Structure 1
Amino acid sequence: MPYALKIALRYLTASKAQTALLVSGVAVGVFIFIFMSALIGGLAEFILSRTVGDISHVTIEAETPDPAILIRADGHVLAAVEPGGLRTATLRDAATWTPLIEAVPGVRAVSPQITGAGFVARGTQVAQVSVTGLEPGRESAILDLEGYIVAGSGRLGAGVVVLGRRLAEDLDLSVGQVLRLQSSNGVSAVLTLGGIFQTGTGVLDRASAFVSLPTARTLFALPQGITRIEIKLDDLNAADATAVRIRALTGLDAVPWTDGAEQLMEALNAQAQTGYFLKSFALITIVIGVASALLLSTYRRRPEIGIMRAMGAGRGFVVVVFVTQGALVGL
């Protein structure tokens, strides 16, 4: 055993109360630092999971065609097709794209959808809703529909609709009752309420209706194709890179969730910077506290230092002794 290590151990065992106090101080400091790091990191993860966990990380939507315009040779417009008169934009090769997207590394789930506006009617009560047609078996691919069900089932089949809890309460509906769902195209269908969900998000719980993909095709008069593809990733922080990869693979316009979420990203970055400063100050405080205690211990051992110096020990040896003592306390 090196002689400096032997002397450092003897100093530590000679004053057990002081050593115990030093070790306790270091342990408490390390615990506080780890606790703060976990708290700040966990808060960021919680915010992301609550805001992004139930939405698509990458979305592919069909491009809306430009209105057709008939122009005379002199530049005057003779006729134009109003946007409301255009057919719903669709992705016609969804069956081809879905397997390709699922094979992209990092992709957890893919959900082909048909979306649009509509109205839910129950007697004289009418409510405007956002209608989403999901593929049976993929109901919980993006939004954990099954996990949020509070009554009935989240399974979507022929003639079945799932509504949010607030919407069901507003229309005085319960599972098993019949309602009429009409799309913005004017097509309506009589459906049975198969389930009621509650996410805690007011917009979803009050204005969302989920039906099966075949039912949505009937409502929106889309015998083929879909309106969008939603993609969920294993790592939501990889959304930008994955969107670029999907664009290169399919040629479709893949949009990551970070587009349009600048305020959320700024808030998360500000929180990360604040957490960094807090952890830095905590670490500095811990280091100063431990260094002060070791400095006091060194000051109290001035007679021993004088004896070692008188016996021929150099300054380097004395420094090694007390640095070793501090390292042992830290370990």
Structure 2
Amino acid sequence: MLTPFERMIASRYLWPGKGEGFIALVAGISVGVVMLSVAMLVLVMSVMGGFRAEMLDKFSGLNGHAIIQAYGGQLDGWENVLDQVRETEGVTSASPLIEQPLLVSFNGRVNAIFVRGNTAEDIADLSDKVLFGDIGAITPGAGKVAIGSRLAANMGARVGDTITVINPQGRTTPFGTTIRQVPYEVGAIFEIGLYDFDETFVIMPMSDAQTLLLLGDTVGLIEVTVTDPDNVGAILADIEAALVGRAQIADWKQINSALFEALEVERVAMFFVLSFMVLVASFNILSSLVMLVRAKTRDIAIMRTMGATRRSLLKIFVTTGTTIGSLGTLAGLVLGFALLYFRNGIVNGIAAATGVEIWDPQVRFLTSLPVRVDPWEIIGITALAIALSFLATLYPALKASNTDPVQVLRYE
């Protein structure tokens, strides 16, 4: 704790007097650099954390946290497997699924798509993603499907239009294999927020998908959602052992391994690089305190002769430098959260000013810039900035405390 005397001297040194404008300038620059470095760390780490969380949420929203995929595309006895999965501890939900790459035609345009057969419950879960139409109209035998917003834009299709789904594996006849071309009415247009999904997915009831793909009563996949996505492998270990030779389990890490590994590496690298900004700011604090000590050498000597201890001088200069770092950290947190709040407006403003699309959904997978603020990361960033600021004060504080008043005042 500081004594009233130490507190008074430290507060005076925080605001250098006349003739010490250069010291004040360096101290101000130190605060500014700490502020910018902390703000950039908060912004970058929150955006990258949000990107990872948003990607995981959207991927799991359609595919769950893991997929049980049958060898050969058909999982015999899938009802028993589904029951076993649902009874597994740690599994929150499991649903049968059909997914097959096909083609779709509309007004002379042909696009590659993924036909996805879902249960009625899974289709109903898309209600909050629907932009146009009625997801409730997508029922077995109704001849209606839901398509992604990007796919609808590419084909020029709207709700009520009829599209033709083309299955090259048709029925065999005496004249050869006939390609199946089945018309469906667009009952709803949805937007998941993942560019690839919105551009390629056509969702229909499972029974309609089984009829289109000539699968009978079988399914090809079972999607699984668990309580702990990071521990999905251990949760499904027993199921995987029981399905050896029949099916394989791919969790979200494996399905999107390249993407999530790249995100993690980039996240660590960005934290490491931006941490050097905080280190540079701490050197600025060190230099400003060194100059302050040199400018106040006579005052320090006088205080020593009046009874100020080395410990008091050490505490005064450590407090001064740490306060500069703390002010910069606090300002950086405020600036960082402000940038996060106005992030989309800033991105749109830069894009409008430069004419360059900064956030391209085709590259970033997501249609908007996501954010996820992790309290522990914020605490870590704050602790890092204040700790480096504190370490930067030690040398000038020791220098000040070791000042010999006899040598300084000899010629005064």
- Once the two structures are superposed, the pairs formed by residues 232-251 of structure 1 within 5 Å of their partners are 232=225, 238=230, 241-249=231-239, 251=242
Per-residue deviation, residues 235-282 of structure 1 (Å, max 9, x unmatched): 65x1xx212311225645331222254532453244224322333211
AA aligned opposite 2:7: L
Work out the CA distance in 1 between the residues paired with 2:235 and 2:148.
35
CA separation of 1:119/1:271 partners in 2, compared to 1, >3 Å: closer, same or farther? closer
Are 2:80 and 1:93 equivalent residues in the alignment?
Answer: yes
Q: CA deviation at 1:286?
A: 1.7
Q: 1:292 aligns with which of 273, 279, 287?
A: 287
Q: CA deviation at 1:212?
A: 0.9
CA separation of 1:327/1:61 partners in 2, compared to 1, >3 Å: closer, same or farther? closer
AA aligned opposite 1:208: F
AA aligned opposite 1:59: A
User: What is the RMSD of the two structures over their aligned residues, measured on CA atoms?
Assistant: 3.8
Flag the structure with higher helix content: 2
CA separation of 1:192/1:312 partners in 2, compared to 1, >3 Å: closer, same or farther? closer
Work out the CA distance in 2 between the residues paired with 1:135 and 1:316.
73
The answer for the alignment partner of 2:296 in structure 1 is: 301
Report the secondary structure of 1:93's partner residue: helix
Q: Which structure 2 residue ranges, 5 or more long, are not aligned? A: 18-22, 172-179, 327-412
Report the secondary structure of 1:175's partner residue: coil
Q: 1:161 aligns with which of 127, 145, 152?
A: 145
AA aligned opposite 1:175: V
Report the secondary structure of 1:318's partner residue: helix
The answer for the alignment partner of 2:208 in structure 1 is: 215
Kept in 1, the 8 Å contact 2:31–2:324? The answer is no
CA separation of 1:161/1:325 partners in 2, compared to 1, >3 Å: closer, same or farther? closer
The answer for the alignment partner of 1:33 in structure 2 is: 37
After alignment, is 129-138 or 308-317 more displaced? Answer: 308-317
Q: CA deviation at 1:222?
A: 4.0
Kept in 1, the 8 Å contact 2:134–2:187? The answer is yes
The answer for the alignment partner of 1:104 in structure 2 is: 90
TM normalised by structure 1 equals: 0.71
CA separation of 1:312/1:245 partners in 2, compared to 1, >3 Å: closer, same or farther? same
Q: CA deviation at 1:48?
A: 2.7
Work out the CA distance in 1 between the residues paired with 2:263 and 2:153.
36
Q: CA deviation at 1:307?
A: 2.4
Identity of aligned residues (%): 19
Q: Which structure 1 residue ranges, 5 or more long, are not aligned? A: 66-86
The answer for the alignment partner of 1:75 in structure 2 is: none
After alignment, is 273-282 or 44-53 more displaced? Answer: 44-53
Work out the CA distance in 2 between the residues paired with 1:301 and 1:17.
13
AA aligned opposite 2:190: F
Work out the CA distance in 1 between the residues paired with 2:321 and 2:196.
58
Kept in 2, the 8 Å contact 1:59–1:228? The answer is no
Are 2:10 and 1:9 equivalent residues in the alignment?
Answer: no
Work out the CA distance in 1 between the residues paired with 2:267 and 2:113.
37
The alignment covers a number of residue pairs equal to: 299
Work out the CA distance in 2 between the residues paired with 1:324 and 1:271.
36
AA aligned opposite 1:278: V
Per-residue deviation, residues 99-144 of structure 1 (Å, max 9, x unmatched): 335x516x5x544211224444558766553211111121375xxx
Q: 2:131 aligns with which of 139, 143, 150?
A: 150
AA aligned opposite 1:283: V
Q: CA deviation at 1:25?
A: 5.5
The answer for the alignment partner of 1:62 in structure 2 is: 69
Report the secondary structure of 1:322's partner residue: helix
Kept in 2, the 8 Å contact 1:244–1:254? The answer is no
Kept in 1, the 8 Å contact 2:90–2:226? The answer is no
Higher normalized contact order (CA 8 Å, seq sep 6+, divided by chain length): 2
Kept in 1, the 8 Å contact 2:10–2:316? The answer is no
Report the secondary structure of 1:18's partner residue: coil
TM normalised by structure 2 equals: 0.59
Work out the CA distance in 2 between the residues paired with 1:279 and 1:131.
44
Work out the CA distance in 2 between the residues paired with 1:246 and 1:222.
27
Work out the CA distance in 1 between the residues paired with 2:108 and 2:85.
41
Q: 1:43 aligns with which of 44, 47, 62?
A: 47
Flag the structure with higher strand content: 1
Q: 2:97 aligns with which of 113, 132, 136?
A: 113
The answer for the alignment partner of 2:220 in structure 1 is: 227
Work out the CA distance in 2 between the residues paired with 1:126 and 1:329.
63
Report the secondary structure of 1:116's partner residue: strand
